[in-house]
Chains A and B, each alone.
Chain A
Amino acid sequence: MDILHEKKIKFLEMTANQIRQDIVNMLVEAGSGHSAGPLGMADIFTALYFHILNYNPKEPNWPGRDRLILSNGHICPAQYATLARAGYFHIEELKTLRKLGSRLQGHPRRGALPGVETTSGPLGSGLSQAAGMALAAKLDDKKHRIYCLMSDGEQDAGNTWEAAMFIGKNRLNNITAIIDRNNIQIDGFTEDVMPLESLKEKYEAFRWHVLEIDGHNIEAIVDACNEAKAIFEKPTLIIAHTIPGKGVSFMEQDYLWHGIPPNKEQAKAALVELRTLGGQIKSEHE
Chain B
Amino acid sequence: MINEISKLNKKIFEAGIEQKPTRDGYGQGLVVAGEKDKNVVVLCADLTESTRSHWFKEKFPERFFEMGVAEQNMATVAAGLGISGKIPFISSYAVFSPGRNWEQIRTTIAYNDSNVKICGAHAGVSVGPDGATHQAVEDIATMRAMPNMKVFVPCDAIEAKKATVAAAQIWGPVYMRFAREKTPIMTTEETPFTPGKAYEMWNPPTGGKKPQAVIIGAGPVLYNALQAAKELEEEGIGTIVLNNHTIKPIDEKKIIELAKKCGAIVSVEEHNIVGGLGGAIAEVLAKNFPVPMEFIGMQDCFGESGAPDELIKKYGMGAEDIVKAAKKAIKRK
Question: A: which residues have CB within 8 A of B?
Answer: 69, 109-111, 117-122, 124-125, 128-137, 139-140, 158-159, 162-163, 165-166, 170
The residues of B that contact A119 with a CB separation of less than 8 Å are 107-108, 111-112
Q: Is the CB of A165 within 8 A of B104?
A: no
Given A110-B112, A122-B103, A133-B84; A158-B68 close (CB under 8 Å): no
Q: Is the interface of A mostly helix, strand, loop or mixed?
A: helix
Does chain A have a CB within 8 A of B166?
Answer: no
Residues in B lying within 8 Å of A, measured CB to CB: 41, 62-63, 65, 67-68, 70, 72-73, 76-86, 88, 103-104, 107-108, 111-113
Q: A136-B86, A137-B84, A166-B70 are in contact. Are A128 and B112 (CB under 8 A)?
A: no
Instruction: State whether A125 touches B78 (Cβ < 8 A).
Output: no
Beyond A122-B107, A125-B108, A166-B67, whether A132 also contacts B113 by CB under 8 A is: no
Query: Bound complex: CA of A134 vs CA of B72, how far in Å?
Result: 17
Q: By CB atoms of chain B within 10 A, which of A122, A125, A162, A165 has the most? A: A125
Residue in A109, A162, A166 whose CB lies within 8 Å of B111: A109
A residues within 8 A CB of B104?
Answer: 122, 125, 159
> What are 26 A-B interface contacts by the 8 Å CB criterion?
A118-B80, A119-B112, A120-B107, A122-B107, A125-B72, A125-B108, A128-B72, A128-B73, A128-B80, A129-B83, A131-B73, A131-B77, A132-B79, A132-B82, A132-B84, A133-B83, A133-B84, A135-B80, A136-B81, A136-B84, A136-B85, A139-B41, A159-B76, A163-B76, A165-B68, A165-B70
Complex partner residue of A166 from B73, B85, B103, CB under 8 angstroms: B73
Cβ 8 A contact of B63, one of A69, A110, A139: A139
Residue on B with the closest CB to A159?
A: B72
Select which of A110, A136, A162 is within 8 A of B72 by beta carbon. Answer: A162
How far apart are the CA atoms of A165 and B73 in the complex, in Å?
10
Nearest chain B CB to A68's CB is how many angstroms away? 13
Which of A125, A131, A135, A136 meets B107, CB within 8 Å?
A125
Q: Are B73 and A130 in contact (CB under 8 A)?
A: no
Contact B73 A111 (CB under 8 A): no
Having A166-B77, A170-B65, one finds 13 other A-B pairs with CB under 8 Å, namely: A109-B112, A117-B83, A118-B79, A124-B72, A125-B76, A132-B88, A133-B83, A135-B81, A136-B85, A139-B41, A158-B72, A162-B70, A165-B68
The residue in A129, A133, A139 that gathers the most chain B C-beta atoms within 10 A of its C-beta is A129
List B contacts of A125 (CB < 8 A). Answer: 72, 76, 79, 104, 107-108
Q: How far is the CA of A62 from the CA of B203 in the complex (A)?
A: 54
Q: Please give the distance in Å from A126's CB to the nearest CB on chain B.
A: 8
CB distance from B60 to the nearest CB of A (A): 11
Of listed B73, B78, B79, B80, residue having the most chain A CB within 10 A: B80
The contact of B79 among A111, A129, A140, by CB within 8 Å, is A129
Cα–Cα, bound, A120→B86 (Å): 20
* A132-B78 in contact given A110-B113, A119-B107 (Cβ < 8 Å): yes
CA gap between A131 and B88 in the complex, in Å: 13
Which residues of B lie under 8 Å from residue A111 when comparing CB positions? 113
* CB closest residue in chain B, given A134: B80
Which residues in A have their C-beta under 8 angstroms from that of B76?
Answer: 125, 128-129, 131-132, 159, 163
Q: Which residue of B lies closest to A167 (CB)?
A: B77
Residues of B within 8 A of A118 (CB): 79-80, 83, 108, 112
Q: What residues of chain B lie closer than 8 Å to A159, measured between beta carbons?
A: 72-73, 76, 104
Max chain B C-beta neighbours (<10 A), residue from A69, A131, A135, A137? A135
Most buried by A among B65, B84, B108, B112: B84
Q: What is the chain B residue whose CB lies nearest that of A163?
A: B73
| CB <8 Å contact, B80 and A133 | yes
A163–B113 CB distance below 8 A: no
Measured CB to CB, the nearest residue on chain B to A136 is B84
Q: Which 10 A-B pairs have the closest CB atoms?
A: A132-B80, A136-B84, A162-B73, A128-B76, A129-B80, A162-B70, A132-B81, A119-B112, A132-B77, A133-B80
